Amino acid sequence: MEFSVKPEPENPRLTREMRGLDQDGREMQIRVVEERPMTIFLNGQEIVTVMTIRDHPEYLALGYLLNQRMLLPDDHVTAVDYDEDIETIVVRTERKTDYEEKLRKKTLTSGCAQGTVFGDLMDHIDSVQLPKDAVLKTSWLYALSHKINTQPSLYLTAGAIHGCVLCEADHPLIYMEDVGRHNAIDKIAGYMFRNKVSLDGKMFYTTGRLTSEMVLKTVQMGIPVLISRSGFTAWGVELARQTGLTLIGRAKGKRFIALAGEERIEFDADASEVAEAARRRRHGGTSAA
């Protein structure tokens, strides 16, 4: 089964028609992505305000708190209350929480729509053990790139959006989008928490840059492989090497670059065959299996 959750480019709440002029001065209508603030509370404490398309507010709030280590994997969530009118969401837990001290220490990241990392998250990453027996076959990578890049999405419809996809082997499972790639990965974390999705054999594919924040969140979730069609930052690469994460960027067509965790890669596909299959698809021929 593929895409148990996928983008909704036709959802009228996520985009808006706007009028403009093109390069020739002609009037035109285009769809642009809606972006709104949402303030996340944990019990009675305000944590952060994020800019988001608000398509999965519960998953975003849960995933954000999990990836900041404010919500623990074994916490019992008693309620999640979302109020669209006042743009707030409150996550309530059985465990009493107070993160006043943690909130004083924050790092603003390079994430779109202003990402933030709080407290001792970077220190905690050193203790995370990623599975060493994980494997990434190049045949899976090529298949995933094609399936994800041809899936209808807000990215293809309106742009100004990032996507993140939870994958297993060559199957894309959960595809989330948002104005910030960190939001997209948080939504997946929240979905996995709510639906008790196993980490076994899972990988991430993202449309955005491979920055320190993307590496930190992937490692924090215990996922050993992160793939992107975009490029790297040096700190992102250093953190991936330090934590044992397999980091693959510029994955387009038959090409990719691995800058960390190369030992997990199995080169089982002929890149020239991938290029020929892509050529046949572009020209309406029969695709390779």
Q: What is the pLDDT of residue 125?
A: 79
The reply to whether 167 and 267 lie within a common domain is: yes
Does some domain include residue 75?
Answer: yes
Distance CA 110, CA 90 (A): 26
Does some domain include residue 273?
Answer: yes
* Mean pLDDT in order along the chain per 10 residues (289 residues): 92 96 96 96 95 97 95 96 98 94 66 54 78 96 95 92 97 97 95 97 96 93 96 96 97 94 95 62 52
Q: What is the pLDDT of residue 92?
A: 98
The reply to whether 79 and 206 lie within a common domain is: no
Question: Nearest 5°: CA angle at 231, between 260 and 251?
Answer: 80
DSSP state of 225: E
State pLDDT tens for residues 8-35. 999 999 999 999 999 999 999 999 999 9
Q: What is the pLDDT of residue 254?
A: 86
Q: Which of 235, 194, 197, 173 is nearest to 79 (CA)?
A: 194
Distance CA 46, CA 50 (A): 12
The reply to whether 214 and 262 lie within a common domain is: yes
Residue 269: domain span: 136-282
Composition of the chain by helix, strand, coil, percent to 5: 30, 30, 40
**What CATH number did the domain enclosing 48 receive?**
3.10.20.10
**Tell me, what amino acid is at 113?**
A
DSSP state of 233: -
3-state SS assignment for residue 232: strand
Distances (CA, A) of 38 to 49, 186, 283: 5, 14, 45
H helices within 120-201, ranges in order?
A: 121-125, 138-149, 154-157, 181-195
The reply to whether 144 and 251 lie within a common domain is: yes
pTM of the shown model: 0.88
DSSP state of 67: H
**What CATH number did the domain enclosing 183 receive?**
3.40.140.10
State pLDDT tens for residues 208-226. 999 998 999 999 999 999 9
3-state SS assignment for residue 203: strand
Q: Measure CA of the first residue to CA of the last residue in the chain; give whole Å.
A: 17
The reply to whether 276 and 237 lie within a common domain is: yes
The reply to whether 273 and 206 lie within a common domain is: yes
The reply to whether 80 and 194 lie within a common domain is: no
Does some domain include residue 147?
Answer: yes
Distances (CA, A) of 222 to 32, 131, 167: 34, 8, 14
User: Where does a domain end: 121, 152, 173?
Assistant: 121
The reply to whether 140 and 110 lie within a common domain is: no
**Tell me, what amino acid is at 70?**
M
Q: What is the pLDDT of residue 270?
A: 81
The reply to whether 91 and 171 lie within a common domain is: no
Return the structure tokens found at 238. 């250093």
Number of domains in the chain: 2
Distances (CA, A) of 83 to 65, 92, 230, 252: 18, 14, 35, 40
The reply to whether 155 and 263 lie within a common domain is: yes
Dihedrals phi, psi of 22, to nearest 5 degrees: -90, -175
Bridge partners of 29, per DSSP, are 19
The reply to whether 140 and 175 lie within a common domain is: yes
Distance CA 92, CA 95 (A): 9
Q: Are strands 171-178 and 45-52 parallel, antiparallel or unpaired?
A: unpaired
